[in-house]
Amino acid sequence: MAISGKLTKKLVENLGKGRHGDGNGLYLVVDASGARRWIVRVVVKGQKGKTGAPLRTDFGLGGADIVTLNQARERALEYRRMAKQGLNPRFNAQREIPTFAEIAQQVHIDRLPTWKNPKHGQQWINTLRDYAFPKIGRMPVDSIGQPEALMCLAPIWTEKHETAKRLAQRMKVVLDVAKSKGFRDGENPITAIKEAQVLPKVKAKPNHHKAMAWQDVPAFYVDLSGRSAMAAKALMFTCLTGSRTSEVLGMRWAEIDFDAKLWTCPAERMKTGEEHRVPLTDEMRKIIEPLQAMQSEYVFEGQKRNKPLSNMSMLMLLRRMKVEGVTVHGFRSTFRDWASEVANAPREVAEMSLAHKVGSDVERAYARSDLLERRRELMESWSSFAAGESK
């Protein structure tokens, strides 16, 4: 609900979704994502719109975390004065060069609807806030060249190379947008740095998750079965399904169809962005069916009511069990090795069981089936092996 009267700093920071007026045409707009920005609405004297009515126009004044309440009021006052004189602020406002942080914040706001989920959008701006804003955030965007860009990139280029690459890409976008708005000219310094190979080449480190040998799974599973902790049950289920940690811990009862023996993980929780169906074996059902008695939204409830287990719960259990050199994610590799070496499963069946994309875009366009029944047979065999029911 919009609040009438003057805003305060506290209100600016805490108001919920909607358009909140400060008076005299100034508004704070809070998006569903939580992003906050200023706009001012003015009526330009003597100018009419297409319908013949007075020309009423909204102007953006920047993000609320960059532009303070007092700054927004000052800019809004300047725009209203021009409008009363018959001057359109769009063409007559004094052209100030915005800072790098101001442009970055506006790019973030403009692109929020294009991201798959709010988390990705927040990660985008967080990278700039952590590594670029402290060094160049307050600098006018037209004064940023190669030396300034290197101030941000060089300190983390080798130590945090993947983060540095993402930072470079996001800085490039901000500077490209600034140029498109007329706030800077010339070559983008990020492009120049790449072409000149100013920064050293960094050999990519393979990110292999440490996995348990498939031969050790039955004994490990027996140990897990004797434990009553929720983390043990979640880890058993993770091991059997070959699913990712986030997919298992975020699983809700609404996603499970016991009659069809099926768990359907929605697209928004999948790394691929596509819905994934997991066949439920008898062993999997034996783990989760008793948990219905807890009447929680989540299958694997954590310490707080109607909240899932924490992401670290299963890893900490492995440490308490003194299982060395193994990660939770590594059980996906364990299953893949077993599927290839023992079950002789076709590659596409094993890969689809792990929710991996198989083949080119064209091949996937023609491959309509997710091979559910063939995957069901493979998962039944894996469950039997892990539970020690097969030789």
What is the spatial distance between Cα 262 and Cα 228, in angstroms, rounded to a whole number? 25
The interaxial angle of helices 161-180 and 100-111, nearest 10 deg, is: 90
pLDDT digits (tens, 9 = 90+) for 369-381: 788 999 999 999 9
**Which DSSP string do the residues of 322-366 spell out, in sequence order?**
T-TT--STHHHHHHHHHHHHTS---HHHHHHHTT---S-HHHHHH
Beta-bridge partner residues of 56: 43
- What share of the chain has pLDDT > 90, as a percent? 47
pTM score, two decimals? 0.51
Quick one: average pLDDT of 91-118? 78
214-386 has which fold?
A: hpI Integrase; Chain A (1.10.443)
What is the spatial distance between Cα 121 and Cα 291, in angstroms, rounded to a whole number? 35
Which pLDDT value is given to residue 380? 95
pLDDT digits (tens, 9 = 90+) for 132-173: 999 999 888 888 999 999 999 999 998 888 899 999 999 999
101-196 has which fold?
A: DNA polymerase; domain 1 (1.10.150)
User: Which two structure tokens, joined as six digits, stand for 268?
Assistant: 């928004």
> What residue type is 223 in one-letter code?
D
CATH class of 9-94: alpha beta
CA dihedral sign of residues 107, 108, 110, 111: positive
Q: Are 189 and 175 in contact (CB under 8 A)?
A: yes
pLDDT digits (tens, 9 = 90+) for 272-304: 888 999 999 999 999 999 999 999 999 999 988
CA atoms within 13 A on the CB side of 7: 27
Q: What is the CA radius of gyration of the chain?
A: 28
Which pLDDT value is given to residue 362? 45
What is the spatial distance between Cα 54 and Cα 39, in angstroms, rounded to a whole number? 19
> Between 98 and 135, whose confidence is greater?
135
Domain ranges of the chain: 9-94, 101-196, 214-386
